[in-house]
Amino acid sequence: MADEKIVLGAETKYPLNGILTFPNETNGLFPTVVLVHGSGPSNMDEKIGNNYPFKDLAEGLSEKGIAVLRYDKRTLVY
């Protein structure tokens, strides 16, 4: 699994930091999931106490050959 830091909307007034997690073995194209937050401000890992559900999902899905995009929620950053 490999993580790549990205910036969503880098050329806009309100860019957001994100991470794209890739599976270890890639054979061309692979499915990708975008994790979308619920209500309230949240970071890209959806941190709740000592739990990081979005990070855990990204790692688990990447182990199964699925790429995952997660990002900081706009209400957290701005």
CB 21 within 8 A of CB 56: no
10-62 pLDDT per residue, tens: 999 999 999 999 998 767 788 999 999 998 999 999 999 999 999 999 999 99
pLDDT at residue 41 in the model: 93
Q: Provide the 10 A C-beta neighbour count for residue 52.
A: 16
pLDDT at residue 71 in the model: 97
pLDDT at residue 29 in the model: 85
Domain boundaries, the chain: 2-77
5 CB-side CA count, 13 A: 3
Q: What is the CA radius of gyration of the chain?
A: 13
